[in-house]
Amino acid sequence: MVRPNDNDTHFPFPILVGDIGGTNARFALLVDAFAEPKLLPIIQTADYPNIDDALQQCILDKTSVQPRSAILALAGPIEGDEVPLTNCPWVVRPRDMIANLGFEDVLLVNDFEAQALAVASLGDGDREKIGPGIERHSASRTVLGPGTGLGVAGLVHARQSWIPVPGEGGHVDVGPRSERDYQIWPFLEPIEGRISAEQLLCGRGIMNIYHAISAADGVDAPLETPADVTAKALAQEDRAAIETVALFSTYLGRVAGDMAMIFMAKGGVFLAGGISQKILPALRGPEFRAAFEDKAPHSALLRSIPTYVVTHPVAALAGLAAFARMPERFGVATEGRHWKR
């Protein structure tokens, strides 16, 4: 009988770990607790009607090592036996995966829980430090990831375990502070009367800022994609694009500083995701750290907290693999999210 289970958090190897987003699904196979994860080809979610077909055709039919467990990170809330993804039509049904694909265990976690698991053990080669601050190794941490949306999670160390704390911090309110903010804010479109962090700090947020700047200045906005804006900004070829990325860095610093205070993240604040890596040259500039530290009366506290850009190419998979190897090292809540044969 398949049932959600919260008692046994050890998973039989081989283990398939996966990070499933709206566009791409990334997987790796962990043969045993000592092996490095074997990365598998990226799957385009639009190419398959459901996750079971994608797993069968792209992984199970093409490897002689058949996984017995699956630990999958999903963008979206995990409730019940049918879990729809936020930005693609796939629905994850762990009972069907066990019945039809041969898995013995399936665990579903939030995508930013996986990012939080990763930052528990990233080495210096997998991150770049931005600004001052000294990492306290057993202190709380927080991770933010501007991408399709804005993901936020905390990581708390207690009872010799790292405990990921998922949430919806990307939807906190943000408001204008500077004179320039007050000029462009009227041209941002509120959702039910408010501007959330995610409306500014994601791919579409880049375009929201860019269009607001252009509207405030009464000029055309010819650039059409976030990639266009960031490329022109980093090449110093378009004034509105340059200001867009500078303001994006400022707003990211403000929200990152807020999350640092909420979690008392003396272990560091980590910026994950492709956008953070892409605009790394801009984040090295003064805007991000200045906004991060501008938190009177606690500016001295914020100056002491280090900030990093995660540069590991598949950090979420690395975090899931670390958990799969040593689940006792992490306090991952599995109630209602763990199905066993």
CATH of the domain at 86: 3.30.420.40
What are φ and ψ of residue 118, in 5° steps?
A: -65, -45
Q: Are residues 164 and 279 in the same domain?
A: yes
Q: Are residues 184 and 161 in the same domain?
A: yes
238 in a structural domain: yes
Residue 21 assigned as binding residue: yes
Q: Are residues 39 and 131 in the same domain?
A: no
pTM of the model: 0.91
Tokens 């160390």 appear where? 157
DSSP symbols for 40-69:
---EEGGGSSSHHHHHHHHTGGG-SS--SE
Q: Are residues 162 and 296 in the same domain?
A: yes
**pLDDT the model gives residue 159:** 87
**pLDDT the model gives residue 305:** 98
Q: Please report, rounded to a whole number, the percentage of residues in the chain having pLDDT higher than 90.
A: 83
Local structure of 161: helix, strand or coil: strand
Q: Are residues 107 and 83 in the same domain?
A: yes
Q: How far apart are CA 217 and CA 202, in angstroms?
A: 23
Does 124 score more than 80 pLDDT?
A: yes
**pLDDT the model gives residue 168:** 86
Q: Are residues 194 and 86 in the same domain?
A: no
**pLDDT the model gives residue 79:** 87
Residue 133 assigned as binding residue: no
Q: How far apart are CA 127 and CA 12, in angstroms?
A: 31
Domain that holds residue 18: 3-111+315-340
**pLDDT the model gives residue 279:** 97
pLDDT in tens, 52-64: 999 999 999 998 8
Token pair belonging to 6: 């919260």
Question: Total domain count for the chain?
Answer: 2
Local structure of 77: helix, strand or coil: coil
**pLDDT the model gives residue 115:** 93
Q: How far apart are CA 173 and CA 171, in angstroms?
A: 6
> Is the Cβ–Cβ distance between 5 and 338 less than 8 Å?
yes
Alpha-carbon distance values, 264 to 139, 152, 256 (Å): 8, 14, 12
- Give every CB contact of residue 138 below 8 A, 6+ residues apart in sequence: 157, 267
Rounded to 5 degrees, what angle do the CA atoms 38, 167, 189 make? 110
Q: Are residues 61 and 77 in the same domain?
A: yes
117 in a structural domain: no
Rounded to an integer, the average pLDDT of 297-301 is: 97
pLDDT band for position 4 (cuts 50, 70, 90):
very low
pLDDT in tens, 186-211: 999 999 899 999 999 999 999 999 99
**pLDDT the model gives residue 209:** 98
51 in a structural domain: yes
**pLDDT the model gives residue 99:** 95
Q: How far apart are CA 329 and CA 324, in angstroms?
A: 10
Residue 277's closest CA among 318, 242, 230, 320?
230
Q: Are residues 136 and 35 in the same domain?
A: no
165 in a structural domain: yes
- Mean pLDDT rounded to a whole number for the chain: 93
Residue 203 assigned as binding residue: no
pLDDT in tens, 126-178: 999 999 999 998 999 999 999 888 999 999 999 889 999 988 899 999 999 99
Rounded to an integer, the average pLDDT of 289-314 is: 97
Q: Are residues 76 and 175 in the same domain?
A: no
Residue 20 assigned as binding residue: yes
> Is the Cβ–Cβ distance between 230 and 249 less than 8 Å?
no
Q: What is the CATH number of the domain that holds 269?
A: 3.40.367.20
Residue 170 assigned as binding residue: no
Q: Are residues 163 and 107 in the same domain?
A: no
Name which residue leads in pLDDT, 264 or 124: 264
Residue 262's closest CA among 155, 118, 158, 151?
155
Q: Counting Cβ atoms within 10 Å, is residue 123 exposed (0-12), middle (13-18) or buried (19+)? A: exposed
pLDDT band for position 278 (cuts 50, 70, 90):
very high
Residue 26's closest CA among 123, 128, 115, 102?
115
Residue 273 assigned as binding residue: no
pLDDT band for position 8 (cuts 50, 70, 90):
low
Q: Are residues 49 and 181 in the same domain?
A: no
Q: Please report, rounded to a whole number, the percentage of residues in the chain having pLDDT higher than 70.
A: 98
DSSP symbols for 80-106:
SS-EE-SSSS-EE-HHHHHHHH--SEE
Q: Are residues 33 and 128 in the same domain?
A: no
